[in-house]
Amino acid sequence: MSETVVTFPETNGQGHKAQNGTRRRASDGSSIQSVARALTLLETIAELGGETTLSRLASRTGLNISTCHHLLATLVQRGFVTKGLGRRGYALGARILYLSHVCMQVDLPRRAQSALDRINHTTGETVHLAALQGDEVVTVLKREARHAVRVDAGALGASEAPHATAIGKAMLAWLPEPEVHRIVSARGMTRFTPNTITDFRELIESLRLVRRNGYALDREEFQPGVVCVGAAIRDQSGAVVGSISASTPSMRASEEHLALMREEVTAAARELSAELGAPPVLERAPERARAP
C-alpha cells in the first residue's frame, strides 16, 4: 500500500519554491510556514504510531532532512517531541499529554452534564463533578438534590478538603504517593469531624481501599450528617482527570440507597472514562473496611 505524502514547498529564503518540494495547497498568506510545518510534523509522528525516524518524517512530509531536524530541535526543546528510537528517532513528548489533559478538563463539564442529570434524577441527591487542576481538586459542576432535606451543594471552586471528601479521595487514590502528599499538604489535613482522617499514612491506607473497591466513601468525614460516594474519571492514557460524587443526608443513607448511589456514580464514571478513551478497568468485589 502506498503512503500519502504531505509536502510543503521548500524555499530558498526569497519565497521561491525549491525543486524538491510540491505544494499541498495554495498559500493564502494567513499562516506562518514554520508553524504549519511544525504542526504537520507532530501530526505525522502521531499518524506513524507516536514514534518514528527522522528520515521517515522527511519522506512522509516532503521536507528535507535539515528542515525537519531544525523544527524538531525546537519541538524537543519545548517538550512536544522527545528523542527516541536511537540517534535519529523522535517520539511525541510529555507536553502533548499536558495539553490533552487540560483540554479534557475544559471539555469535561460539557460531557458530564447528562451523567450528572441522570444521577440526580435516579437518586434524588446532590451531585458534584470535580477536576484535578494542578495541585487542586476543583468542583466545576453540580446538581442540587430534589429532596426538601438536602445536602448543601456549596460553591464551585477549589476544595478545602480533598482528604476528607469522596470526590477528592476518588482522585487521590490513583495518584503517585508524592503527588498525594503535595496536594494534601497545600491545604493541610484539617479535622472537620471526628471521622476525618488527619494522618497521612492512614490516608494512604484508606486510598488503597478506594483503589480496590473502585469508589470512595465519605462517612461524615467532611460534614456531620452527610455521606458521599465518589468515583474517578480517566482519560485515554489512564490518568485521572476528574471525579463524580453523590451526597446524601445520613438519615437517608440506608445500605440500599447507598448501593443505588454507588451504582449510578460508578456507572457514570465508567461511561465518561470510556468516552474519553480510557482503557477498561477490571471490576473487583467490594472490600469491607476494617472495624475501628
CATH of the domain at 14: 1.10.10.10
Q: Are residues 42 and 70 in the same domain?
A: yes
pLDDT (tens, 9 = 90+) of the chain, 292 residues, equals: 444 444 444 443 333 343 344 334 434 445 588 888 888 888 888 888 888 888 888 888 999 888 888 898 888 888 888 887 566 688 888 777 666 666 655 577 888 889 999 999 999 999 999 988 777 888 889 999 988 877 876 666 777 789 999 999 999 999 999 999 999 988 889 999 999 999 999 999 999 999 999 999 999 999 999 999 999 998 877 888 899 999 999 999 999 999 999 999 999 999 999 988 887 764 444 444 433 3
Q: Are residues 221 and 116 in the same domain?
A: yes
Does the residue 291 lie in any domain?
A: no
Does the residue 289 lie in any domain?
A: no
Question: How far is Cα 273 from Cα 268, in angstroms, rounded to an integer?
Answer: 8
Question: How far is Cα 215 from Cα 266, in angstroms, rounded to an integer?
Answer: 7
Question: How far is Cα 6 from Cα 239, in angstroms, rounded to an integer?
Answer: 33
Quick one: pLDDT at residue 4?
A: 42
Structural domain containing residue 269: 97-275
The residue from 54, 77, 92 where one domain ends is 92
Quick one: pLDDT at residue 284?
A: 46
Does the residue 209 lie in any domain?
A: yes
The residue from 71, 92, 113 where one domain ends is 92
Does the residue 281 lie in any domain?
A: no
Quick one: pLDDT at residue 244?
A: 96
Domains: count for the chain? 2
Cα distances (Å, whole numbers) of residue 205 to 139, 159, 198, 289? 25, 21, 12, 11
The residue from 45, 67, 92 where one domain ends is 92
Q: Are residues 148 and 207 in the same domain?
A: yes
Q: Are residues 103 and 88 in the same domain?
A: no
Could you read off the pLDDT of 168-209 as tens digits, one per residue? Answer: 999 999 999 999 999 998 888 999 999 999 999 999 999 999
Q: Are residues 10 and 25 in the same domain?
A: yes
Coil/strand/helix, residue 198: coil
Q: Are residues 155 and 67 in the same domain?
A: no
Question: How far is Cα 79 from Cα 101, in angstroms, rounded to an integer?
Answer: 15
Does the residue 69 lie in any domain?
A: yes
Does the residue 283 lie in any domain?
A: no
The three cell numbers locating residue 20: 524538491
Does the residue 15 lie in any domain?
A: yes
Could you read off the pLDDT of 115-148 as tens digits, one per residue? Answer: 999 999 999 999 999 988 777 888 889 999 988 8
Q: Are residues 3 and 141 in the same domain?
A: no
- Does the reported pTM lie above 0.75? no
Quick one: pLDDT at residue 290?
A: 38
Cβ 126 vs Cβ 165: under 8 Å: no
Q: Are residues 203 and 256 in the same domain?
A: yes
Quick one: pLDDT at residue 98?
A: 67
